[in-house]
Each structure stands twice: as C-alpha cells, then as structure tokens.
A = this chain, B = another copy of it.
Amino acid sequence: MAESLKSRTGHKAATLADVGREAGVSAMAASAVLNGARTTARISDETRSRVLEAAERLRYRPDEAARALTHRRMNTIGVVATLLGSEPNLYFLEIFNGVLRGAAAAGQNTTVFTLDGWDDAAQRIARFCDGRIDGLILVAPMLEDDPSTWLPPHTPVVSIHANREIAGVANLESDEEAGAFQAVSRLLELGHRRILHVGGPMGSTGADRRIDGYMRAHEAAGVPLLHDPVVRDAYTFEAGRGAMESWLQRHRGEELPQAVFAGSDAIALGCIDALAARGLRVPADVSVVGFDDTLLARTSRLATVRQPLQQMGRQAAEVLLSRIETRHENPLQRAPRNVVLPTELVAGATLAAPRTAPLAIG
C-alpha cells in the first residue's frame, strides 16, 4: 500500500516528450500514436508498439488543458443555475440530470456554475468560462436583466425557461400555460368551484403563465374566481406551507377552498402539510395538484402537471453541442430558436370530487 500510495503521489506526470524519449522517438511520433486519429502520418508498427509500451510504463495521460489549448475545444459544457437557500432544488436537479446524460452521450463533460443570485453572475461567469467550456446552458427561470452584456462572447449559449428573450440564444421551454389550464380544467370538471392558486414568486414568467392558465380555465368554464384567488411566494415547501396557512388564517370562518392548484410540487406538499396540521385530509376534504412532476410528486402520489424537465435538459445539451460544432459558420444560420415542449396532467392520489357538504375554515 505504501508502494501504491507513492505511485499515486509522485510529483510529475509523464509528458509526450518523456514518452518519446523513453521509446527513442520524437514527441510527435508519440502524439500520433497515442492521440492522433487526426494526423495523416503513418507510423510503423515497430514505433507504435514501442511508444505504446513506453506510455504504459510511464503511465502516460494526456494533459487535457494542453490539448484544449491547441484544439480550442475543452469537451466540456457549463451549466449555470442559481442555488438559493440550502434546500436542494429538484426542478434544477431533473434538468441537470438530463444535461448530464446528453453531454455524456456525446462524450462531453459538464461543469456547474452556481450563483447565489443573478447579481454576481456577470463577474463569476465571465471569470470562469472562457477557454474552460465550449458552451453554456442557462437555467434561467428567474433571470431578470439582460445577460447578453455579460455572457461570454464567442461562446454558444442555450437557455432553459429563460424569463426574457436573450439575443442570439436558443431557448427551450414548456407550455406552462396549457399545463395549468389542463389541471384547473380537470378540477372544474370534477365539480370544484372554489379553487385556490398558491403560485410561484413575482418576477417568474413561469409563475405568471401558470396563473394565466388558471384564469383561462375559469373563464372557459364560466366559473367565477374564488375571492382572493392567488397567493404567491417562493417555489419551496416552506413557502407553500406558509402561504397556505396564512391564507387560511386570513379567511377564517369562511368556506374552505375545495381544491388547491399549486405552482410547484414542493409548494403543493407544503400546502398539504398546512392542511394536515389542521386535521384536513387530502383529497377527501381538499384536492391538490402540483406542478413539475419532480421526484417529490412521484414519491407522494401527488397529482401534478408534468413538464419534461429531464428531456429538456438533454435536448438543451444536444442543441448546444450542435451549435458548438457549427460555431465557426455563419451566425445567421443559428438565429434564436425557441422550442416549446408539451406539458401534461399526471393523475395522482390527491385528486377527488369535492365534498358534498362544504367545510368552514376553523
């Protein structure tokens, strides 16, 4: 073990020159043998086997930084996301999962840039991007100002759920309005008439669109909105619980909503928790529908609106990689492209017909 430890901690890695010397040939011959599919040079079997042997003996590994420098290609894509608070963000995770798979399928690596908010994005991204990644995926549902001033120039970029249009950047999103419309329409079909929406934060276009769908479903069904129909806060469990509880307090003595349409799965579970704390049962007393179809929904049999997050991540990686391949061609060919993926309602165990006898808020 001391032996093995030592071999793993020696100071210097072998270079191509070392391998060449060991094999008694030039560094470039070694390069051609070990890394070069690209070169036209033919190498004799004699030389080839000596190089291979020397490389093995020296445990040669190509230095990827050096290769990147000459190839102008790092074989790595970057993903930028905000990581707020200490709670893991499943929305991001699902997307990230897809990006990883898409990148891995093309033999590419993925590096992550996390931001505490978009304020320091300009500096941090700029400092870490150039030359280190070949392209960037922006998971940007909360992006406020135009990033085109600080995005690394000369770097292909694809965004997911961008909150705004970004010059020269392809965007992937899902049809959130339609998903919300579908979910709320289903609730209305089941007979619900008092449907509360506990949505995502101000400044999120996605949250706005879910509200739009919620409204449109009511209009289409000719059902008037509940009084004080929409409350908004962060996309988290805690925020959902807090929002639900304070809505109930605010409307004490009134009739209980028959259903809750939540802006995310985490919010939905928070709402369920707040209801349970008051002894209310889901779906017997109140139906609940979430949004996103993250792992959370699947492990709690939550009815939800599925966005194909993993697929979006994978597709973002694919679009990005194709842009990286063609980056030296005419920029006009890759004008902003906007891909909208479908959403769908996923049945769960939190959906039922409304109670026959309405409940009052205690």
Contacts and interface: CB of A to CB of B under 8 A. Distances in A.
Contacts of A61: 126, 129-130, 152-153
A8 B129 CA distance: 14
Given A10-B154, A11-B154, A69-B69, A63 B130 contact: yes
Nearest to A77: B111
Contact of A168 (B5, B64, B75, B90): B5
A154 B112 contact: no
Contact of A299 (B5, B63, B131, B300): B300
Contacts of A10: 153-154
A88 B154 contact: no
Contacts of A109: 111-113, 128, 132
Given A11-B154, A69-B69, A109-B113, A299 B296 contact: yes
A331 B66 CA distance: 26
Contacts of A328: 11
Contact of A88 (B90, B110, B273): B90
A65 B132 contact: yes
B76 A65 contact: no
State the oligomeric state as a number of copies. Answer: 2
Interface string A48-91: 00000000000101111111110000111000000100111010
Given A97-B83, A299-B266, A76 B111 contact: yes
A94 B67 CA distance: 33
Given A8-B167, A66-B69, A298 B237 contact: yes
Given A13-B154, A59-B153, A64-B128, A167 B298 contact: no
Contacts of A9: 153-154, 168, 327, 331
A126 to B, nearest CB: 6
A282 interface: no
Contacts of A336: 5
Contact of A269 (B114, B151, B300): B300
14 contacts: A4-B168, A8-B151, A8-B154, A8-B155, A9-B153, A9-B168, A10-B154, A11-B328, A64-B130, A69-B69, A76-B111, A88-B90, A88-B97, A100-B114
A-B pairs, top 8 by smallest CB distance, nearest first, are: A63-B131, A111-B111, A9-B331, A65-B131, A5-B168, A64-B132, A61-B130, A65-B68
